[in-house]
Structure 1
Amino acid sequence: MMAVEIINICLLCGRQLAEPSNKHHLIPVSKGGKNTPTILLHKICHDKIHAVFTENELKREYNTIERLQQREEISSFIKWVRKKEPEFYDKSVKTKSRRLK
């Protein structure tokens, strides 16, 4: 029987995973992604994705880790957050939908 290796890194920033963490649907559930694979990310990384992109943008253009990382705002965030401890969380990061209210 093959051993299954558990990946214990955030696929967005590359740091070791720590709490708080979230599952991210590469295609948003509200846009048909209910049964699509999820990836585990730090909560701050997950919140940043949703602060930068609308769900339509995530579905159409940013539905892979590579595409997310290529966006300037995300790549700048990654450079900044990589200097933080894995447990770091900044509560001031707001999602795009919460900022619009």
Structure 2
Amino acid sequence: MSEELDVDCPLCGRPLAHPYNRHHLLPLSKGGKGTTTVLLHKICHDKIHSVFTEMELKRHYNTIEKLKADEEIANFLKWVAKKEPQFYDGSVRKNKA
């Protein structure tokens, strides 16, 4: 599936297209069951989880605005803005130790 949805990714602002994921603003592992989720491109979702630990997401990066304010995420957003909405690069996700 490569069709675009009629909504933009709240992180990068590009039209949302497959592949995409649901991101829990409060991680499930930190009590986020039943909390707010947002649809993000898979590459955007993977980038968030490659940069931050679950505890960092819970404590400091639990809104789209706070995520965008991080320098590494901001640099990623500048880079991904030039890509097609369907673009995905599996090398983006490197789990943070």
Q: Same fold (TM over 0.5)?
A: yes
Which residue is 2:27 aligned to? 28
Letter aligned with residue 50 of structure 1? H
**Rg larger for:** 1
Percent identity of the aligned residues? 66
Residue 24 of structure 1 aligns to a residue whose secondary structure is strand
Q: Unmatched 5+ residue regions in structure 1? A: 1-5
Which residue is 1:75 aligned to? 74
Indicate the structure with greater strand content: 2
**Hey, what's the Cα distance between the residues in 1 that align with 2:6 and 2:87?**
19
Letter aligned with residue 77 of structure 1? F
Question: After TM superposition, where is structure 1 displaced by more than 3 Å over at least 4 residues in a row?
Answer: none
How many equivalent residue pairs?
A: 93
What does 1:31-70 correspond to in 2, within 5 Å?
31-70=30-69
**Hey, what's the Cα distance between the residues in 2 that align with 1:42 and 1:36?**
19
**Hey, what's the Cα distance between the residues in 2 that align with 1:62 and 1:95?**
18
Residue 40 of structure 1 aligns to a residue whose secondary structure is strand
Q: Unmatched 5+ residue regions in structure 2? A: none
**Hey, what's the Cα distance between the residues in 2 that align with 1:94 and 1:76?**
15
- TM normalised by structure 1 equals 0.88
For 1:47-96, what per-residue CA distance to the aligned partner results, in whole angstroms no more than 9, with x for missing partners? 00000000000000000000000000000000000000000000111242
- TM normalised by structure 2 equals 0.91
The question of whether the paired residues in 1 share the 8 Å contact of 2:60 and 2:66 is answered with yes
